[in-house]
A = this chain, B = another copy of it.
Amino acid sequence: MTGMHPRLTTTPAATTVFTMVLTQGPVSRVEIARRTGLSSAAVTKAARPFIDAGYLEELEATERTGPGAGRPASPLVIRPDREFFIGVKITHDDLIGVVTDLRARPLASAHRPLTATAPEGVVAELAALVTGLLDTDPAYRRRCHALGLAVSGDVDKAGGLVRYSPFLGWRQVPLARLAAQATGLTVTIENDVKSLTVAEQWFGDGVGASSFALVTVGVGIGCGLVVDDRVIAGSHGVAGEIGHIPVGGDEPACHCGGRGCVEAIAGTAPLVAAVGAATGRGPLSIEAAIEAAHAGDAAARQVFDRAGHALGLAMASMANLIGPERIIVTGDVPGLAAYELFEEQVNRAFAAQAFGAAADCRVLLRPRTFEQWARGAAAVAIQTLFTV
């Protein structure tokens, strides 16, 4: 996190209490104490600064008359418009930005095309995008201090550095500092798949699961992993590289230098190339490849079946190692259209290769728009602000 922002969250108890109200509220102090193991006094002490600063408020005591009724509870609830956040997903050809409230609910959005990817130019466009978003409501300018940025590639969140982003052609770009200077906001940057994972963890289909996986299907095959309530970062900056599990045997060669990687089979480019070769139609678009399979072309279908089989094996490998409670599958538009074609093969291979009870892991297909990826960047900014 770069820039100035008041910090309310300075203890693990404060993180625990605020997070519980934010992601699961309204919830009473008694219930928070019960779920966290903290004492009632500790819960009250932890909540106090958030109430004083207007982030939390007490609902009026409700008389409980049902079974298990005790003394009246005064549930704590978030004041979602106490602060606003901006999240931006940076792709190689555009910026997608959203303003969200404290619950990462998108309130406004904006796009801005990029004609070049040099960091200075991108940051200038970003500043213009942010200005436009803040100008949509005077309250945003008054109560928005934090900006989250989501970028594909190897991102050093703590250092505010994009180490390597192939699509943008960036190496060692101090993006957090540049963006903070250009916008005057506190800036948090994170890998885009990890950002979407954080949004699912706190505000989406990951809520209530201490371990889950997000798998993204498209140009690449990505994966965000939450284990014991924490997004795995990897000791060497590498984690979640499900796309490079070699389930394909010796073929095909992958751009990573490995062989048989699931991304080299089920990623958009190799999938399209394989359909073109198998059908004898040569180079074609992903839409045309999907169309051919839908039309019943046996050779095209076989290519999609193989991709689904490979992805199912990779997902089973991941489940065997980590044991996620659920797997959320999403991706870009052609990626999801392809997934729908090979979903049955994915499920079949997953069930066959999952070890014992790992097969109980639920697989959920969830379309996510680019605005939702931008919301992920805002979720990272929120999580960073309220976590010790």
Residue positions of A touching B, CB distance < 8 A:
12, 37, 154, 209-211, 223, 225, 227-228, 230, 232-242, 244-250, 256-260, 313, 316-325, 352-353, 355-358, 360-361, 388
Contact = CB atoms under 8 A, between A and B. Distances in A.
30 contacts: A154-B356, A154-B357, A209-B235, A225-B321, A228-B228, A228-B230, A233-B323, A234-B322, A234-B358, A236-B323, A236-B356, A236-B361, A238-B356, A241-B321, A241-B355, A241-B358, A242-B320, A244-B320, A245-B245, A245-B317, A245-B321, A246-B247, A246-B313, A246-B317, A247-B247, A256-B355, A258-B352, A259-B353, A318-B321, A321-B322
Given A228-B228, A249-B248, A236 B321 contact: no
A239 B12 contact: no
A348 to B, nearest CB: 12
A148 B146 CA distance: 49
Contact of A227 (B227, B241, B318, B358): B227
Given A244-B320, A321-B322, A357 B228 contact: no
Given A233-B323, A239-B321, A317-B321, 11 more contacts: A227-B228, A234-B322, A234-B323, A236-B323, A244-B320, A245-B245, A246-B247, A247-B247, A257-B352, A318-B321, A322-B322
Copies in the complex: 2
Contact of A244 (B234, B353, B357): B353
Nearest to A356: B238
A227 B230 CA distance: 9
A235 B313 contact: no
A69 to B, nearest CB: 30
Among A239, A246, A353, find the residue whose CB has the most chain B CB atoms closer than 10 A: A246
Given A227-B227, A247-B247, A357-B236, A241 B320 contact: yes
Contacts of A236: 323, 325, 356-358, 360-361
B321 A355 contact: no
Nearest to A248: B249
A381 B7 CA distance: 39
Contacts of A256: 355-356
Nearest to A250: B249
B321 A321 contact: yes
A276 to B, nearest CB: 24
A193 to B, nearest CB: 13
Contact of A232 (B248, B313, B323, B356): B323
Contacts of A248: 249
B356 A242 contact: no
A322 B320 CA distance: 13
Contacts of A323: 232-239
